[in-house]
Structure 1
Amino acid sequence: MDRTDPLRLIGVPSLVRIFSTAAAGLLCAILATFPALAQIDYDAGNDTVFAHSETLPWWLSAQGNFIFQWHPRFHADYSGPNSFEHASEQAASEVTTLYSGLELSPSIEAVADFESAGGSGLSQTLGLAGFTNLDAVRSPNLGATPYLARLWYRKVIALSDDTISVERTPLSILTTLPVRRVDIHVGVFDMVDFFDLNSVANDSHTQFMNWTVVNNGAYDYAADTRGYTWGAVIDYEDRAWGFRFAEALISKRPNGLNLQKNLQDAHSENYELEFRPELIKKRVTAVRLLAFTNFANMGDYHQAIDLFEQGKTPTPEIDNHRMQTTLKYGFGFNAEQEFTDCLRGFVRAGWNEGEHESFNYTEVNDTVAFGGDLRGALWNRPEDKFGVAFVGNGISQRHRQYLAEGGLGFLLGDGALSYGPEKIMECYYNFPITVHAGFFGAIDLQYIDNPGYNRARGPVVVPGMRLHVEL
């Protein structure tokens, strides 16, 4: 198979100059605009509007995330049905979530979360593999109707007498856990609640926003169009390492809302091995090795191209095939390192086989991402955070040919293709916006070269703003 060398995916020099200038401008703007916030006593309380008990057997909280993005007109030799709009445009998205949990015993808990996702992404969330806003609804016709996001039962099986104390979060209210244990989760969840986690680049509500920075772009994880699935996770944890496995349902069609409940027709297995060595004394290190296998009614790029070249279809059509259960598999690498109290770094890499259609997450067959974040304690603003990341995304030879001959994926399709790896840089500055805890703002800037892997289009610059409220 033809693969782009991951080390050549990122053309750094010219982009570094652009983002160095942008990052410096963002930093100066925030410091000049909100000088009074430097006097907040950040050590005195929580980062939520309301304090949450560490002892009550239940949890109730909420959050809202509102993102506005815009881009100016950019160069495009041509456009197709699934192109990123080259004319100037703007879009806003909103996601509100109600979190609830119940501690049934010291080793059992239940979680139920309800969510509403409204607004839209730029270009109706089409035209980019590394899309600019993880909150954007991939099927805008769904509207903002509330839905059940998570509903799971967790059982902790102790394998040691030693315990550790952990902080409560909206997704877990148990405060004491065995050092060596097995966690079992069953129900509705987001696969990346458990897999491909990274404390530097994992949360579009307080960190980066781009799909292929927040998650491994090549991880085509099982989910419906909203990002959730039914399944079970078994997680073995020890002090220095852990291993987790998940079995989950896959949607009936690419980016579909309905999950295939017959496991004979579709199912997904996910595996992750995590190591936590102490490479730097008293600093957090994590290295994660990921693998997945998806079985579903997926089209084959080779078959779609053959039918087109034989004159049986007007363009290559990846969904023009009989019912078939095919295999898509892939691997991922994910590491993070804490260097100081203020500075952390991360790196991700991923690959999937690229012969069968992208089905669940995004149209990426190989990816490399790296970056870091810096807390504002260095400039007397300890709650502020600045982050920067670089990403290179690529697709397989068959995937390129399919798009070049006019084929459409569930995200991409310019009608033709002058292939080039999609290169992305993103920086953000996150900061509290009031003297009261729980309200945060962010300024974000993304630069995308070869949007949708097309040298005939772009580059495009996407500035954005975010308001985040924690209740």
Structure 2
Amino acid sequence: MTFLFKRTATLLLATMLAAPMVQAAPAKADVNALLKKFSERLEQLEKRNAELEQQLTQLRTENSAKLEPRIKAIEEQNAKIEKGLENDGVSQYEPELTARLKAVEYQSLNMQKSARTVSALDGVTAGVSLTTVAQHPGEMPAGSHIHNSQLNYRGDVTVSLPLPNSGDIENKMVAAFRLGQGIGLNGVRSFAKPNASAFRVSSTSPDDSVAVLGQAWYQATIPLPFGGFKPRSREKLEINFGKMDPFSFFDQNAVANDETRQFLNTVFVHNPLLDAGGDIGVDANGFTPGFRVSYLNEVNKAEPWRLSFGVFGAGQGANYTRFFSSPLVIAQVEKQFKSFGGLNGNVRAYYWRNGQAAQYSGDVAAHSGWGISADQRVSDNVALFGRYGHQLTGRVSFDRALTFGAEFGGGLWQRGADALGVSLGWLRTSNQFRNDAPTLADFGFAASNAERVAEIYYRYRVNKQFELSPDLQLISRPAGNSDASLVKLFGVRAQIVY
């Protein structure tokens, strides 16, 4: 303020002194009067300046007295906030701002954690199913171990885990757990076993329900040509190894392949020579260690074809006690077709050799054979299937097997999610078995001709996760016994999936 006043006075004096230079010199009295007047004005300005300085000092003092408590309070609040943020816990004695900051931080961390979890689970698939079957037998043939109704259940949990890619190679792991109780009506003396869904760990008491790791295998999918441009690749090489169900890769069929939803008798689920006949050589729980390599050609996307080769433990090798001697070797070629106006059809032909196959006489020997599995959809609501098996070597109870049938979609009667399945089977007794059956302790009768099997089921969709399937099976000449009465089996299956 003082500087401004002095600056103003100096400019005013300079102006007054310079002005007379272009005029005549004023009188001395006028100059004295002007200087006096200027002196008075200067004195007034200095007085006013002193008053303003006094007011400013007073204002500063008053403001300082008012602001100091507020600044102190803010500093104390900031200290509390900083102290509260030093630990992760939330206290009721902390400032509200601290709690809010922590809440935002926790929310952000949780979102990041969820994002990491979602990213880690990307590509993971899982499925859970529970199958319960109740069966009631009609008249059983002599020698059967089952004469009353049976109830059994089976639970399956399957998880597929993607692994990090190795360049263009896709990797994944698959694990499947299984548990259950009850053996169903599989004690009937016949080649066919009426309940393929029955599962119980053989070494446990019927009172126990034990879960087993049925499958745990790795798969690498390699685009071909190796090192080429993956998006344009139309050929793939798949490699699998671990503990697995060989039927996951061989003898598949779109119409007759799943005992939890389709046909229940073993002769219609897989090739009878491999499954009911036992040439597949898996352990008591239906699994085995092995290796599989497959070449897939999709140059024609509508009609791809595949070559597969597998080596699996058989006999003692299936339970990890003798794998590298006499395994099961199986090779398959498969082709997909478009027929009946572009509807899918598949044909699979395969050859197998089991070095440790169980024979009906109780000993172990090498078996071999070949088979065909075919399925064809002929309309939107009708699909057909057929299988044929031919035994080449080995002492087996039946050496030819033919099964065929159809599934009719519920769209034919305005129940689109329902289905009706009908199938027939023919299992020809082998010449060796016909000669030996009368002397075998488990049989003791004259075997001839062939065992004939028929099954019909209706799958009723209750909702998306729940289905009920009444089932009827007929077995004529069980185990080739012409004198045995017709076996009738009534059942109902409940299937829950997630």
Q: TM-score with structure 1 length normalisation? A: 0.72
Cα distance, 1:99 vs structure 2: 1.3
Which residue matches 1:42? none
Residue 137 (structure 2) aligns with = 71
Deviation of the 1:84 alpha carbon: 5.7
Looking at structure 2, the residues matched to 450 and 139 of structure 1 have their Cα atoms a distance apart, in angstroms, of: 30
Instruction: Show the 5 A alignment for 1:312-351.
Output: 317-319=361-363, 326-351=365-390
User: Which has the higher mean CA deviation after the structures are superposed, 346-355 or 455-464?
Assistant: 346-355
Q: How far did 1:458 drift?
A: 1.9
Contact 2:271–2:371 under 8 Å retained in 1? yes
Structure 2 counterpart of 1:429, from 458, 468, 486: 458
Contact 2:281 2:356 (C-alpha < 8 Å) held by counterparts: no
Cα gap change, 1:131 to 1:163, in 2 (>3 Å):
farther
Q: Which of 239, 242, 245 matches 1:187? A: 242
Match of 1:237 in 2: 296
Partner of 2:195: 133
Distance 1:456 1:343 in 2: 37
**Candidates 456, 460, 464, aligned match of 2:487:** 460
Calculate the aligned-residue CA RMSD, in Å. 2.6
Shift of 1:127: 1.3
**CA drift at 1:298:** 5.0
**Is 1:246 equivalent to 2:278 in the alignment?**
no
The aligned amino acid for 1:229 is T
Residues 193-243 of structure 1 show CA distances to partners (whole Å, capped at 9, x for unaligned) of 110000100000110001111111012213112110000111111122111
Q: Does 1:105 align with 2:164?
A: yes
Local SS of the residue matching 2:491:
strand
- 1:259, CA displacement in angstroms? 4.3
* AA at the equivalent of 1:226: N
Map of 1:56 onto structure 2 = 122
Look up the equivalent residue of 1:283 and give its one-letter code. L
Alignment-mate amino acid for residue 294 of structure 1: N
Structure 1's 210 and 401: CA in aligned 2 closer, same or farther, altered over 3 A? Answer: same
Q: What amino acid does structure 1 have at the position aligned with 2:455?
A: E
Match of 2:335 in 1: 275
Q: Tell me if the contact between 2:429 and 2:448 (Cα under 8 Å) persists in the aligned partners.
A: no
Match of 1:400, SS? helix
Q: Distance in 2 between matches of 1:386 and 1:297?
A: 36
- The answer to whether the Cα contact below 8 Å between 2:368 and 2:394 also exists between their aligned partners in 1 is no
User: Partner amino acid for 1:242?
Assistant: R
Cross-structure match for 2:496: 469
SS of residue paired to 1:433: strand
Structure 1 gaps, min length 5: 1-51, 165-176, 302-316, 358-362, 408-412
Other structure's SS at 2:324 match = coil
Q: Partner amino acid for 1:235?
A: S
Amino acid of the structure 1 residue aligned with 2:479: G
Return closer, same or farther for 1:421/1:139 CA change in 2, 3 Å cut-off. farther
- Tell me what 1:9 maps to: none
* 1:351-393 Cα distance to aligned partner (Å, 9 max, x none): 1135335xxxxx5421001111011112111100111001001
Q: Provide the residue aligned with 2:324 in structure 1.
A: 263
Partner of 2:439: 405
Partners of 1:118 and 1:241 lie apart in 2 by 39
CA 1:242–1:126 in structure 2 vs 1: closer, same or farther (change >3 Å)?
Answer: same
Displacement of 1:131:
1.0
Distance 1:131 1:61 in 2: 27
Deviation at 1:134, TM superposition (A): 0.4
AA paired with 2:415? R
Runs of 4+ in 1 over 4 A off after TM superposition: 138-141, 160-164
Task: Kindly provide the amino acid, as one letter, of the partner of residue 484 in structure 2.
Answer: R
Residue of structure 1 in register with 2:415 after alignment: 381
Residues of 2 paired with 1:268 and 1:252: CA distance?
A: 11
Letter in 1 for 2:195: N
Structure 2: unaligned runs, 5 residues or longer: 1-117, 299-303
The one of the two structures with greater contact order (alpha-carbon pairs below 8 A, sep at least 6) is: 1
What TM-score do you get using the length of structure 2 for normalisation?
A: 0.68
Paired AA for residue 400 in structure 1? R
Say if 1:163 and 1:468 are closer, same or farther in 2 by CA, change over 3 A. farther
Change (3 A) 1:298 1:62: closer
Q: CA contact under 8 A between 2:255 and 2:406: conserved in structure 1?
A: yes
SS of 2:440's partner is coil
Cα distance change, pair 262–199 in 1 and its aligned pair in 2 (3 A): closer
Give the whole-Å Cα distance in 2 for the aligned partners of 1:381 and 1:194. 32
Which runs of structure 2 are paired with 1:355-394 in the superposition (5 Å)? 355-357=394-396, 363-394=397-428
Say which SS state the counterpart of residue 319 (structure 2) adopts: coil
Which residue does 2:102 correspond to in 1? none
**Which residue among 106, 121, 125 is the counterpart of 2:184?**
121
Asked if structure 2 preserves the Cα contact closer than 8 Å seen for 1:249 and 1:260, the reply is: no
CA contact (8 A) 1:354 1:399 kept: no
Deviation track 1:157-199 (CA, whole Å, cap 9, x = no partner) reads 10167989xxxxxxxxxxxx96420111110111101100001
CA distance in 1, matches of 2:493, 2:242: 31
Report how far residue 417 of structure 1 moved.
2.7
Q: Where does residue 311 of structure 1 map in the other structure?
A: none
- Aligned partner of 1:327: which letter? A
Q: Which has the higher helix share?
A: 2
Task: Tell me if the contact between 2:177 and 2:212 (Cα under 8 Å) persists in the aligned partners.
Answer: yes
| Separation in 1, partners of 2:136, 2:229 | 52
Contact preservation (8 Å) 1:332, 1:349: yes
CA contact (8 A) 2:128 2:158 kept: yes
- Cα deviation, residue 347, structure 1: 0.8
Deviations 1:76-112 (A, max 9, x none): 5xx33xx365x5x211221101111211135111011
The alpha-carbon deviation at position 318 of structure 1 amounts to 3.2
For residues 205-244 of structure 1, what are the structure 2 equivalents within 5 Å?
A: 205-219=260-274, 220-239=279-298, 240-244=304-308
Q: 1:110 touches 1:151 (CA, 8 Å); kept in 2?
A: yes
Quote the offset at 1:140 in angstroms. Answer: 5.0
Aligned to 2:96: none
Cα deviation per residue 1:414-442 (whole Å; 9 max; x = unaligned)?
Answer: 322342311011011101124xx211110
Letter of the structure 1 residue corresponding to residue 474 of structure 2: Y
Cα separation, 1, equivalents of 2:395 and 2:347: 29
Structure 2 contact 159–176 (Cα < 8 Å) conserved = yes
Contact 1:389 1:426 in 2 (8 A): yes
Cα distance between partner residues in 2 of 1:466 and 1:178:
43
> Structure 1 214/297 Cα, relative in aligned 2: closer, same or farther at 3 Å?
closer
Q: Distance in 2 between matches of 1:117 and 1:394?
A: 32
CA shift at 1:155, angstroms?
0.2
